[in-house]
Structure 1
């Protein structure tokens, strides 16, 4: 499967929105006794991010209040987390998630991988610039203080934007790179991890797709099979994520969503992060892939695992179609 799929969002710009009317409707939903949570869902879960930013600004300019602070005072728990996430620019939301993954005791390497592995150079630059603006600290510096070894070097390469631009392909180089990967892993005793992370962090996704095809011709095995035998730990997880995103990003995210809801308890942070951040990109593709992989809809899975306003908000973003 190629990464050249047609991205299909579930949240698209609403037609003819009236930011002033939406702002006043949101204020009305929070005034007086009780809160009209459904009204908040109906507005914020059906507008694009750009439209939500417009509502946010209008709320302040016309009502003299902070919409996010008003919502935080009325809502709570996971429902609040979804609604507040919707009211941030995408890169700001992801920066908060990166900071949360590294803040305090321990590091959530899985979240770092999920956020950084699929990003293009352009997207990474926005995240890097936003992170330093938000936290007055370079993202690279924070990552280096929380990770180590080959995993740290891979993440550093990703965030410094060393990947070739999309569309950069070289068939002869792909054959050479496939040979380098083989000689660094299957073709020798031990593994030269540096070759793996340098190629997978530098080559464009278009180039990597050709490299992986050449690898299979050369060794008779997929790159995934080779990496599973040759690598381990966070480096393997991160490189595996890159491979999956090259081949089909919706497959990668469908797996992450299933994992977030599988077994005892739900990883709500991952669930919210993927559904919100991919809603205007390719959440419809992810839904389709999820149903094909697990023989049930993403909507039904969320309904089974979540409850209350939190469930209703996620389902509104996911959509019925």
Structure 2
């Protein structure tokens, strides 16, 4: 059985990165009964961002943009002295006195999430309640994840109460039987069932009618709608493994897909992906990574696919200080770069520990670690290291940014849009929506509505809870 023409188009090429290659074949599945002929994942062109670097001018859609140095209280003045009262030169991260937000950054009211994307309350008006003492180039660092967002995440899709797989299978059968298709009936079922419940519906459909639900859906649907439905019916781990396989299959490699998945998943998720990759495709994930990437980027991805990151939530502040010093000496503090030190620390430390290390680094170096990574690295290794730092500070914001750039400008990278909406729908899509609104001053639903159409739009909107 083959999957001709169904490679996801991968992550949009960011500034300085070539577009991903195109793949054309797919190996047969093993455990999961997927039909042949999965459709091609769509994807438009990706416009280059207004500037390079992270987050970069124009990266955040705040009215008027972020102020230039000196344009907000606390901005570094000549000689390094900030104008914000109570913040002394070289202080680094310090609490903003009085909780006043500096000009240009939103300070949303505290409100609960109910239907529409609410903004997360930010102590002090700045993510994490802190403002760095210096912004190289006037750029604002990646937003911290506030305490309100660390207290459990939430998906927009939850298991349906009083679930009846046989009844749902019958509804889907009626929606596809005869002339025409009742797409709304399909949307109502699929968008309101968990992935586990969808697997049960698929099994019930075959038991009741002796037919494969996926084949029937493929015969009734097309284009992006078909692509989204098929992604929703893939078991979660299989979908991640499948996406990685397609990113490396054939000519070219979709590095952005590798980064997005391997740098953001938990240890357990990665280990399950590695096992599924081996059992379904008969391939070793690490071996495929080694054959498709090279250099420091290869080493970082190999480290990631071990699934051995420390996940202790307690922070060792002495270690954070030592790691910050080691990173400084490996980069800014020497001629050239000791890449192995960056790989070791960023691949092994827990996300809370990395967050503490970034704060210690800013105090010590008077520069945020993102800026140092930009100065010391380039290409996909730079992108991978930044993805880890972004997830350590605020994982929902990491995905919100990628969703934004999948739709920004002319064309839409439907592959990325589908992959993130589907994979995060039961994990943290509520928080992703909140961060999206906070970072770009528009709701995720609004941007999806303007970039998509038809049943594809309605299903996406139903998933994101609009």
Identify whether the pair has TM-score above 0.5, normalized to the shorter chain.
Answer: yes
The Cα offsets for residues 59-105 of structure 1, whole Å up to 9 and x where unpaired, read as: 11222221111111211111111111111111111111111111121
1:88 aligns with 2:234: yes
Which of 164, 169, 173 is the equivalent residue of 2:319?
Answer: 173
| Structure 2 equivalent of residue 303 of structure 1 | 449
The Cα offsets for residues 108-133 of structure 1, whole Å up to 9 and x where unpaired, read as: 11111111111111110011111111
Pair 5,224 (structure 1): closer, same or farther in 2 beyond 3 Å: farther
1:203 aligns with 2:349: yes
1:150 aligns with 2:296: yes
- Report the Cα offset of residue 171 of structure 1: 2.5
Larger radius of gyration: 2
- Report the Cα offset of residue 168 of structure 1: 5.5
Distance 2:314 2:272 in 1: 21
The Cα offsets for residues 11-41 of structure 1, whole Å up to 9 and x where unpaired, read as: 1111112111100110111111111111111
Distance 1:136 1:277 in 2: 23
Distance 1:229 1:49 in 2: 42
The Cα offsets for residues 221-270 of structure 1, whole Å up to 9 and x where unpaired, read as: 11111111111110000110110110001111111011000122110000
Distance 2:312 2:277 in 1: 24
Aligned length: 320
Normalised by the length of structure 1, the TM-score is 0.97
| Structure 1 equivalent of residue 35 of structure 2 | none
| Structure 2 equivalent of residue 56 of structure 1 | 202
Distance 2:304 2:255 in 1: 15
Give runs of aligned pairs for residues 244-255 of structure 1, distance below 5 A: 244-255=390-401
Give runs of aligned pairs for residues 1-321 of structure 1, distance below 5 A: 1-2=144-145, 4-167=150-313, 169-320=315-466
Residue aligned with 2:394, SS:
helix
Distance 2:304 2:151 in 1: 23
Structure 2 gap segments, 5+ residues each:
1-143
- Report the Cα offset of residue 166 of structure 1: 3.7
Please give the root-mean-square deviation of Cα atoms over the aligned residues, in Å. Answer: 1.2
- Poorly superposed stretches of 4+, deviation over 6 Å: none
Structure 1 gap segments, 5+ residues each:
none
